Amino acid sequence: MAQYKGAASEAGRAMQLMKKREKEREQLEQLKQKIAEDNMVKSNIDKKFSAHYDAVEAELKSSTVGLVTLNDMKAKQEALVKEREKQLAKKEQSKELQLKLEKQKEKKRKEEQKRKIASLSFNPEDEGEEEEEENEEEEQDYSPVKKKKLGKNPDVDTSFLPDRDREEEENRLREELRQEWELKQEKIKSEEIEITFSYWDGSGHRKTVKMKKGNTIQNFLQRALEVLRKDFSELRSAGVEQLMYIKEDLIIPHHHSFYDFIVTKARGKSGPLFSFDVHDDIRLVNDATVEKDESHAGKVVLRSWYEKNKHIFPASRWEPYDPEKKWDKYTPFWAQDDASAITPQDCSLDCIQQGGLGCEYCRITRADVKRALGLNIEAFGSCVPWPCLEFLGKEDPKICQHYVQAPNDVTIEFVPESNPKSDTIVVSWKPSYYGIAFLRGFQVSLQALGGSSIACQLLLFHRNLSLPASHAERVYKSDPFSGLALGSQYASYSHGSASA
């Protein structure tokens, strides 16, 4: 009988390896058995459709020669199918027998292996138990080392990791801050402010009301309407929806509140929208080109009045409020450095009539009018009834036998005036597309409403000039109109000069 003479620990390891291999063999056998069962299922499926095999069809064709009755054909087909099924059954039986033989051989091999192991001079089971105990002791010895490897480093920043307690604490703090902020905002909204406004019907009528910062423009207009109705008959039947509120040349929608402008520090074209107190007119005490925090009285206007007069200053400057548009630095139009804006130049009348290149856009003085017409029209400045014909078309009247449309975008801007008792303005406009090729100049008139005084300027192109359509986007300016009395109202008229 063979005996193992090696160390007991090595014999135990050998035994464990043998057990491991035995287990792998069993798993392999199970896998083979599963594959065989799957193949058997597939073969059974094949049996169901065995009548359609090519072999059956070929044999049926070879066994039937000539004309055969239908019953004989069916009988032969059934016989061949049964014979085919028998053959397949025999194949399956032979496969099953082969599997049984392989299992018996494997069983005999295992018994022989166990018999050989039993002939050893030591008990392999005991050695296996000792080896397992040794392995457990080793695992216990190394277990603290494994824990250290999987442990956390207290110096690492874990604030970015999910933490339920920390998130709950942050949410609670956020909620407390939100409630505190809302209480502060409600307190601000409940504060009272004094609002100075001017009812504008062509002239100003200043009033004052007290409102809360949280009130909307609609609430303010309702309160203003109650104050104004007793003094203005046209407002007695008017509703809030028929009124407009104009602040710093911007038309403020009714749904906005004073709180919105105060919190956002919004600004208009000529001053802040968040300040409702009123200072003196900044044009009298400061440079109008320098932005200040001083505000102007907002205007309350009937919508019907605005629709009738929106082409006349000051309504021509008003535009709807757009929260996205910024007016941080406001520069009046006349002070803008715009290369497309054209201002009048000094030219001789001969240069204009002969069409010289150095006299494209020229001012006509009273002296030119007197020399050309032999008239002294002191009361009307430099205005004449037919400026194109009198100055450019005497030799060729056809040059003035065209019509042009009135200019667009007529704008009036205030210019700084050294005299605090008067104003100075500049008129600007864009020519119309229609008839621009025949345009010969402009005549700008400024007349006091209810009065007879007229200020007039005549501005001509040279006779050989024909403007392209692109010049309809260029801005033309007048000379300053100075010495206008404060509080007076004027109507401005700008005409294209080319009609016969």
Q: Read out DSSP for 83-126?
A: HHHHHHHHHHHHHHHHHHHHHHHHHHHHHHHHHHHHTSSS-HHH
Tens digit of pLDDT for each residue in 44-94?
Answer: 555 555 444 566 677 777 766 677 787 877 887 788 788 878 888 888 888
C-alpha neighbours within 13 Å on the C-beta side of residue 401: 4
Tens digit of pLDDT for each residue in 100-112?
Answer: 888 888 888 888 8
pTM of the model: 0.39
Residue 446 pLDDT exceeds 60:
yes
**Residue from 19, 3, 1 nearest 122 by CA:** 3
For residue 488, the Cα-to-chain-centroid distance in whole angstroms is 46
466, 437 contact by CB (below 8 A): yes
Q: What's the pLDDT at 390?
A: 77
Q: Which residue has the higher pLDDT, 441 or 316?
A: 441
Q: What's the pLDDT at 111?
A: 85
Tens digit of pLDDT for each residue in 130-173?
Answer: 555 555 555 555 444 445 556 677 788 877 788 888 889 999 99
Q: What's the pLDDT at 221?
A: 94
Q: What is the band of 126 on the pLDDT scale with cuts at 50, 70, 90?
A: low
Residue 346 pLDDT exceeds 90:
no
Please give the average per-residue pLDDT across 223-244, as a whole number: 92
Measured CA distances, 459 to 87, 352, 383 (Å): 119, 11, 10
Q: Which residue has the higher pLDDT, 98 or 293?
A: 98
* List of residues 6+ apart from 165 with CB closer than 8 A: none
- Distance separating alpha carbons of residues 234 and 251, to the nearest angstrom: 21
400, 498 contact by CB (below 8 A): yes
Measured CA distances, 23 to 26, 102, 307 (Å): 5, 17, 99
DSSP 313: T
DSSP strand pairing (298-302 vs 243-247): antiparallel
Q: Pick from 280-284, 328-332, 339-343, 404-408 the range whose average pLDDT is largest.
A: 404-408
- Distance separating alpha carbons of residues 402 and 394, to the nearest angstrom: 15
Q: What's the pLDDT at 449?
A: 75
Q: What's the pLDDT at 286?
A: 42
**Residue from 490, 482, 382, 489 nearest 425 by CA:** 482
- CA gyration radius, the chain: 53
Q: What's the pLDDT at 42?
A: 64
Token pair for 499: 């009609």
- Express as a percent the part of the chain with pLDDT over 70: 75
- Distance separating alpha carbons of residues 60 and 80, to the nearest angstrom: 7
Q: What's the pLDDT at 338?
A: 47
Q: Which residue has the higher pLDDT, 279 or 53?
A: 53
Q: Provide the terminal-to-terminal Cα distance of the chain, rounded to the nearest Å.
A: 143
Q: What's the pLDDT at 371?
A: 77
Please give the average per-residue pLDDT across 330-349, as a whole number: 62
Residue 21 pLDDT exceeds 70:
yes
Q: What is the band of 336 on the pLDDT scale with cuts at 50, 70, 90?
A: very low
